A and B are shown apart, each in its own frame.
Chain A
């Protein structure tokens, strides 16, 4: 594997890890709210969360590019404050990936929180546990399969993104050039050997990751029917 390919792998893993972490922090409260609320607003929020599932990634990428670029509402504001805009940067990529992978974090978590039910947190409240305590000692352990699924899917989905990265990130080695872009470049330049290596590696790694998750979840399932 060439040096630039290694760089692309490192960038990919970094992007996926940071995106997953950011989504875990943002997606968990959102999923909790969606699982518990009776607000009518929830339906609209859920539809927005699911949008990245159906939109072409290029559409999302296009809007992100506009928003984060020097003339966009976000990038422009940053520039007027003397800060760099975010198009074609790693930070911009993280922001775009966070939105792109949002449903993969929120939906499994929401289902897991709904399955835990209100009863268990009520029980914990009668045993002197405050709201945060209840969440971390009762909800999180009982929703652990949902967390595992959400984290894995978010990570794997971010590893696999292409259209959004192409629009927002461009192709800067060590900054925004990820594996999927590298594979595209190799195929374009007829370097099928390198494309095979990266594609095959990605395929095998993704399969093994998902296999592990399903095995672990199945084991939990068998232990606690």
Chain B
């Protein structure tokens, strides 16, 4: 029991961050984390002892998130998040606009690329751990990572191109 709390508790901020980045809605994301933690608590004894607890918990959360997102896409979003002032995301600081653009561009990526990018670049899971979480070979993780990064880069540069003044581009 204490072992369970000791391992699970420090993961909660990261689990919230991952869920929020995927769902982009604070309360929906926290509901998801709660659901994930409930499942982790009830299945704790099924966890492979030699397995890594973090990958295991992320896998639970990831699967719940994918189910949730499928439901949302099936029934249509109940909120139009793009119109609302980003209720799920932290308040905008000075660099906030750029962050917001990035998260929007991230949101346009296919779910499979977005998950990999978040798990690798933000949550610091190893490629092998991400493969475990998603239940795919490491090669698939790498190709999703490459495609996701490239697509996000192009989206961000496209955005920059649109906002930059034309003569600035001609110099280069």
- Chains A and B come from one and the same complex: no
Q: Which residues of A contact B (CB under 8 A)?
A: none
